[in-house]
């Protein structure tokens, strides 16, 4: 028996007397919690599926969702369907619509998942990869990599998120140091430090983009979050980073809850605070920078989505992070559908749509008197 098991054994013995009386209460409490916690996942999954179908269907060439599902099924091994759809639909779906939809889903999931994690890490409800400058830092890293050598091979595609990740980690370290006042990280200093460092990184990025003449137009569209890079390469390149990072963040929901009581209490409860913080900041920055690497800087998703989840279902990080991930994918898909539809056939960069919706939301949060109520 391991030490941990022995300790648990001892505990269960000391608590033995009360087990008899409390067992019934225990059961009712936990089964009720299970029922309540099911519906948020159901609701957010339904929202995600609707957003996915809309994203596949809507565009210059409309594709019927049922037809889209048939085309997708026909690609599954051992499923045989007689094609009753046009070859054009199939090409548009598989090489344009679908990679874009998957890229946007991953990006939205990454931004909202990392936003929720930064909020928990800094114990600050306004932390967001965009507002704390991490996205700009990642953008600078990505542009340095692209300006140096435009990715032409799949290996080159994998390198861009790494450069973005280095930029993001440097930024978060600088912003956090600048924002600290004693043992706390106040909202105001965090946002101010984030804006200042982010502006600096953005200025450097712009300078670099203007230097590298060939790709300027492409890069500017990229910076505004326009998903200008098409095809499956970006999706494949960010998938490992985002999935590993998000799995880590989802797994650390409970330690994030403990951190909400402050470093002292978390340590006194037995949490290795320094190590947990380091792992969370690395995972969140990895995820955020992978999102920025091929989708550009998209603001406010990491702020708005976790807040909506908090308002609906509370601030327990064990649920907040997975629900923000699902909601972030759905939310950014909807924003992208708007971006494609408002001036069709022209496309707006999705970053403009998220800013138009997200910035007023941010100001409303800032003005709200009882900011702590859901925190």
Partner 1 sequence: MLSINSLSIQLSSRIVLRDITLDVRQGEVLALIGPNGVGKSTLIRAASGILKPMRGRITINDQDVHQLPIDLRARSIAVVPQAVRLPESFSVNDTVLMGRTAYLGWLGHEGDVDRSIALEAMNRTNTLDLASRRIGELSGGEQQRVLIARALAQAAHVLLLDEPTAHLDLKYQADVLSLVRSLAHDQDYAVLIALHDLNLAAVYADRVALLSNGHLIALGTPEEVLTTEKLSPVYGLRISVFAHPENGSPWVMAANE
Burial tier of 210 (Cβ tally within 10 Å: 0-12, 13-18, 19+):
exposed
State in angstroms the smallest separation of the CB of 9 from partner 1.
9
Note whether 371 binds partner 1 by CB under 8 A: no
Binding letters toward partner 1, positions 289-328, x by CB under 8 A = ---------------------x---xxx------------
124-141: string of b/e by CB count within 10 Å (b at 16+)?
A: bbbbbbbbbbbbbbbbbb
Structure tokens at 219: 């890069």
3-state SS, one letter per residue, for 33-64: HHHHHHHHHHHHHHHHHHHHHHHHHCCCCCCC
Rounded Cα–Cα distance for residues 350 and 300 (Å): 11
**Of 207, 124, 206, whose CA–CA distance to 172 is shortest?**
124
270 binds partner 1 (CB under 8 A): yes
1 binds partner 1 (CB under 8 A): no
Closest approach of partner 1 to the CB of residue 242, in Å: 20
Q: What tokens were used for 332?
A: 């950014």
Q: How far is the CB of 111 from partner 1 (least distance, A)?
A: 23
Shortest spacing between CB 280 and partner 1, in angstroms: 10
Residue 2 in contact with partner 1, rule: CB under 8 A: no
Instruction: Find the binder of partner 1 among 61, 251, 278, 342 (CB under 8 A).
Output: 251
Residue 368 as a binder of partner 1 (CB under 8 A): the answer is no
Question: Do 237 and 250 meet the contact criterion of CB atoms below 8 Å apart?
Answer: no
Query: Per CB under 8 A, does 369 bind partner 1?
Result: no
- Looking at 145, 191, 237, 271, which residue binds partner 1 (CB under 8 A)? 271
Of residues 360, 288, 293, 357, the one with CA closest to residue 325:
288
Q: By the criterion CB under 8 A, which residues form the site for partner 1?
A: 4, 7-8, 10-12, 14-15, 17-19, 22-23, 25-26, 29-30, 251-252, 254-255, 257-258, 260-261, 264-272, 276, 310, 314-316, 372-375
């Amino acid at each position: 028996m391991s030490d941990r098991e022995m300790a648990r054994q001892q505990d269960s013995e000391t608590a033995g007397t009360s087990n008899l009386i409390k067992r019934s209460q225990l059961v009712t409490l936990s089964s009720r919690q299970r029922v309540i916690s099911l519906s948020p996942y159901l609701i957010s999954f339904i929202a995600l599926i609707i957003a996915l179908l809309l994203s596949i269907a809507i565009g210059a060439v409309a594709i019927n969702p049922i037809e889209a599902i048939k085309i997708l099924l026909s690609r599954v091994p051992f499923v045989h369907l007689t094609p009753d759809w046009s070859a054009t639909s199939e090409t548009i779906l598989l090489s344009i619509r679908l990679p874009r939809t998957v890229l946007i889903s991953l990006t939205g999931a990454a931004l909202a998942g990392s936003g929720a994690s930064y909020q928990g890490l800094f114990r600050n409800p306004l932390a967001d990869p965009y507002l704390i400058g991490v996205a700009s830092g990642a953008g600078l890293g990505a542009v340095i990599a692209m300006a140096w050598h435009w990715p032409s091979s799949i290996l080159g595609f994998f390198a861009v998120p790494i450069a973005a990740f280095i930029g993001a980690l440097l930024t978060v370290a600088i912003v956090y140091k600048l924002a600290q006042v004693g043992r706390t990280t106040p909202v105001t200093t965090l946002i101010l430090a984030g804006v200042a460092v982010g502006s600096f990184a953005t200025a450097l990025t712009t300078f670099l983009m203007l230097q590298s003449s060939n790709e300027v137009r492409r890069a500017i569209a990229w910076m505004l979050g326009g998903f200008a890079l098409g095809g499956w390469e970006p999706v494949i390149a960010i998938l490992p980073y985002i999935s590993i990072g998000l799995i880590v963040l989802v797994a650390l929901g409970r330690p994030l809850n403990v951190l909400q009581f402050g470093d002292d209490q978390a340590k006194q409860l037995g949490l290795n605070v320094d190590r947990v913080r380091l792992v969370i900041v690395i995972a969140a920055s990895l995820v955020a920078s992978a999102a920025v690497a091929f989708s550009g800087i998209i603001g406010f998703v990491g702020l708005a989505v976790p807040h909506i989840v908090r308002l609906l279902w509370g601030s327990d990080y064990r649920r907040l992070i997975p629900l923000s991930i699902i909601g972030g994918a759905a939310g950014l898909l909807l924003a992208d559908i708007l971006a494609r539809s408002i001036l069709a056939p022209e496309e707006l960069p999705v970053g403009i749509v998220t800013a138009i919706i997200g910035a007023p939301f941010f100001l409303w949060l800032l003005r709200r008197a009882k900011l702590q109520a859901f925190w």
